[in-house]
Every structure is written in structure tokens, then in C-alpha cells.
């Protein structure tokens, strides 16, 4: 079914009309620009194969003659999305020939195929995902579903984008929780919209619910709320990393350590708090319950508990925040209160997002292999697609300490 027939059939709007979320375009391993996808449009985010070069550029002179391709007017090119009919007209071939070329089928002379591909590149033609899905029962697109585009998910996406090269698959990054108040279950809503029509497999970042194996669509969850259950998962050694962070502070001489945790519904947050408690206990120290507060992994949610920790007369000499964004906010609040970091207060985080190295002072943290987590999740999805299986596999990657300038021995009494 051609793109035009898909539109005429009425299938286009119901399927495509919902795609109005935030999108990232990834090139060379990182996001270049944030886009808002207009209602009723969809383009691939990143392709694992190269694009053929254009045979004619803007301003080139093109002369028509019998039996040669018809020029595509600049005004017409700018006013609408190129269709397969446009490509056929400009290339001087039939729609069926264009379809064979773009779908990699036999029966087209090499010179003709080269000419068609040149026109495809010049016009920016892309076969719609809906039409492709209806024709082949597959799209060669892997979805990456996130609740929001923030530093953690962005670093994962960089790893996924780098790993897609050479695979023949494309990526669709989809924000499924933007602007909603009912955060729980966003991934199921997104799956019901995308799976089987626009994507062949999916990587879901921090899903809120235990996910069943979705029929016909391989799923890999990164850092799921419920831990390694259900579909295949990729996460980090949250327990061991939290121990390492706490042991680092203890080794510097800190005994009164505050802990700013994540969200109570997240398995990663539970494991990090457990690692903190275990390291304190192993060192013969009793954690002060009044110094163990929930920060929700967000600066806005961690602001009040941070003030509670730092404004008390018997404040801690060090704070372990369960993620980097919260740790950076601790540094900012400390400076607002006239405390020097690390002379008066040591701060350590968890994640090693780029903002950690850019903070003032640079943040000591526990590094997760975020790029590798994303890449491994993608490899697992592709392996399931190519083997036709949806077996559950749970991969846990190590963490490591990255020492910077935000931790030091406690001030002398």
C-alpha cells in the first residue's frame, strides 16, 4: 500500500495523530536538537545505515526532455512532504519501480536504481512507517520510550544511538509522560500506541510497572522500578555503588553522614539506601534516621529535605545524594547558606551525568556505564528480533567511583 493510499484509507490520522511528543534527533552519538513533533507527522530519529548522496543540489540547472526525469519545482518541494509519486515523476519511472528500489527488491537496472536513490535523497522522501508496517508487517524501527528527556535518559539515548550504526534499524525516541499528572503506567499507554504499528521492538527507560511480555514486540527495560522481573532488563550495581560511595566518605574521616534518597517506589532507590546503611553498619557506625531523607531524584523535590539537613545545628559533615542532580542541588544550597564545599561539607552523587563534571566544584560521584547500558539494551532487543524469541535476560553492569573536588576530610572540630 503506498503512502497516498494509506492516507486515503483513513488509517493515517488515527495512528499518526497522537505523535505529538518531544523528540530528539541523534547524530554521531548525541542529541543535536530538541524537536516537537507536529501532529500527524513522523520521521525516523536515527538510522543505522548511511544515506545515498544527492545527484543535484539547490540551484543546479535541470533541463527536461522526452524520456528524462521531470524537475521538481523548488516551491513544490518546500510546501509538502514528498511522496512516492513525486519520486517516480522526477526520476521518470513508475511508482512500482520506486517501491522496488526503496524496499531493496530485485528487478531494477543498476543505473535506474542509482537515479531513483538520487531523487529520493534530493527530495528527502521517506516511506511512512505506517505504510511500511502494513506492507511488510515490520518497520525496522526500534522505539525508545522515556518518561521525560532528562540527563539520565539522554545519556542512555546517546549509547543507544551510537550502537544502532550498521544494524539496519532506525530509532524512534518517544516521551510518554510529558505533561501528565498520572505518571504510573505511562509505558503501557505508549506501548499500546506504538507496538506492532510503528515499532518492532522497544527499550523502556525506568518503567513504573512490571511489564508482561508484549505479544510480538521484544521489550528490554532499563532500570525498571520493580527490579529485574518480567521482560529482559539492564541495570547497574546500585547496591555495590552505594556502598562504595559511603565507604569513600568514611575513609575520608566522616562519621556523621546525611543520605538524600531517591523515590520510594524505585528498586534502584531502595538498593542505594540499603548500600548506604550496610556500609555504615560495616564500619561500626549507626545511621541517624533523622539524616536519612527522601529527595525523589529531582532538585525541586530535594530542595526542602536538603535545607532540613544543612540548616540544623548538628548538620552532617557529608551528604550522599542518590543521584547527581540532587547532589548538585545540595552543593548549590550549601553555597547559598554560606557553606564551602568541600571544606565545610563533602557531597557525593550517583550516575556521573555530564553535569557532574561541570558543577562547581566538580562532583565526586558513582559512575554508571550509561552509554553501555543503552547499547546493551539495544543489542538485546535486536538479538530477540533476529532470533524470534522474547526470553527474559537480566544484565547488571558494574559501577565505579569517580573522585573529583566535592569531597574531602571533615573540618577539624
**DSSP-assigned beta bridge partners for residue 204:** 145, 221
The burial class, CB within 10 Å (0-12 / 13-18 / 19+), for 222 is: buried
pLDDT computed for residue 4 by the predictor: 45
Domains of the chain by start residue, with CATH: 1-44+129-217 (no CATH), 52-125 (1.10.260.40), 238-368 (3.40.50.2300)
pLDDT tens series, the chain, 413 aa: 444 443 443 333 333 333 333 333 333 333 333 333 322 223 334 556 543 333 333 333 333 333 444 444 333 444 467 888 999 999 999 999 988 888 777 889 999 999 998 898 888 886 654 455 445 567 889 999 998 899 999 999 999 999 999 999 999 999 876 555 555 667 777 787 787 678 899 999 988 766 655 556 899 999 987 777 778 999 999 999 999 999 999 999 999 999 999 988 889 999 999 999 999 999 999 999 999 999 999 999 999 999 999 999 999 999 999 999 999 999 999 999 999 999 999 999 999 999 999 999 999 999 999 999 999 999 999 999 998 887 778 999 999 999 999 999 999 86
pLDDT computed for residue 22 by the predictor: 31
C-alpha cell at 280: 555504615
The burial class, CB within 10 Å (0-12 / 13-18 / 19+), for 4 is: middle
Sequence-ordered list of residues with C-beta below 8 angstroms from that of 130, at least 6 positions apart, any chain: 6, 11, 12, 15, 16, 197, 198
C-alpha cell at 187: 509505558
Express each pLDDT in 278-321 by its tens digit. Answer: 999 999 999 999 999 999 999 999 999 999 999 999 999 999 99
Is the CB of residue 3 less than 8 Å from the CB of residue 83?
A: yes
pLDDT computed for residue 104 by the predictor: 73
Express each pLDDT in 182-213 by its tens digit. Answer: 556 677 777 877 876 788 999 999 887 666 55
How far apart CA 177 and CA 185 sit, in angstroms, is 9
pLDDT computed for residue 228 by the predictor: 75
Express each pLDDT in 245-283 by its tens digit. Answer: 999 999 999 999 999 999 888 899 999 999 999 999 999
Amino acid at each position: 500500500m503506498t503512502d497516498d493510499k494509506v492516507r486515503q484509507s483513513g488509517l493515517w490520522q488515527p495512528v499518526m495523530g497522537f505523535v505529538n511528543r518531544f523528540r530528539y534527533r541523534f547524530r554521531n552519538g548525541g542529541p543535536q536538537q530538541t524537536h516537537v513533533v507536529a501532529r500527524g507527522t513522523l520521521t525516523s530519529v536515527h538510522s543505522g545505515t548511511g544515506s545515498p548522496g544527492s545527484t543535484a543540489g539547490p540551484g543546479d540547472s535541470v533541463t527536461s526532455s522526452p524520456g528524462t526525469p521531470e524537475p521538481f519545482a523548488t516551491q513544490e518541494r518546500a510546501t509538502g512532504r514528498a511522496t512516492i509519486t513525486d519520486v517516480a515523476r522526477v526520476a521518470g519511472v513508475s511508482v512500482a519501480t520506486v517501491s522496488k528500489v526503496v524496499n531493496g527488491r530485485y528487478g531494477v537496472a543498476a543505473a535506474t536504481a542509482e537515479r531513483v536513490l538520487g531523487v529520493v535523497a534530493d527530495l528527502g522522501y521517506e516511506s511512512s512507517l505506517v505504510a511500511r508496517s502494513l506492507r511488510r508487517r515490520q518497520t525496522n524501527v526500534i522505539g525508545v520510550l522515556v518518561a521525560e528527556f532528562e540527563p539520565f535518559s539522554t545519556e542512555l539515548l546517546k549509547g543507544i544511538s551510537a550502537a544502532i550504526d550498521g544494524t539496519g534499524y532506525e530509532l524512534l525516541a518517544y516521551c510518554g509522560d510529558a505533561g501528565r499528572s498520572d505518571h504510573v503506567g505511562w509505558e503501557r499507554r505508549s506501548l499500546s500506541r506504538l507496538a506492532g504499528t510503528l515499532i518492532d521492538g522497544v527499550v523502556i527507560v525506568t518503567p513504573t510497572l512490571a511489564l508482561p511480555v508484549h505479544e510480538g514486540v521484544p521489550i528490554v527495560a532499563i532500570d525498571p522500578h520493580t527490579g529485574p522481573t518480567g521482560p529482559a532488563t539492564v541495570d547497574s550495581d546500585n547496591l555495590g555503588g552505594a556502598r562504595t560511595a559511603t565507604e569513600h566518605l568514611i575513609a575520608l574521616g566522616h562519621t556523621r553522614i546525611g543520605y538524600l534518597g531517591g523515590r520510594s517506589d524505585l528498586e534502584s532507590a531502595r538498593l542505594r539506601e540499603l548500600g548506604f546503611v550496610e556500609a555504615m553498619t560495616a564500619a561500626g557506625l549507626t545511621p541517624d534516621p533523622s539524616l536519612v531523607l527522601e529527595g525523589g531524584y529531582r532538585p525541586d523535590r530535594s530542595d526542602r529535605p536538603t535545607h532540613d539537613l544543612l540548616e540544623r545545628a548538628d548538620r552532617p559533615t557529608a551528604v550522599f545524594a542518590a543521584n547527581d542532580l540532587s547532589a548538585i542541588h545540595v552543593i548549590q544550597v550549601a553555597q547559598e547558606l554560606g557553606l564551602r564545599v568541600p571544606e565545610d561539607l563533602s557531597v557525593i552523587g550517583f550516575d556521573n551525568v555530564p553535569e557532574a563534571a561541570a558543577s562547581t566544584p566538580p562532583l565526586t560521584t558513582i559512575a554508571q556505564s550509561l552509554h553501555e547500558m543503552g547499547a546493551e539494551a539495544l543489542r538485546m532487543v535486536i538479538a530477540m528480533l533476529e532470533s524470534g524469541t522474547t526470553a527474559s535476560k537480566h544484565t547488571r553492569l558494574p559501577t565505579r567511583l569517580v573522585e573529583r573536588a566535592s569531597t574531602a576530610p571533615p573540618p577539624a572540630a
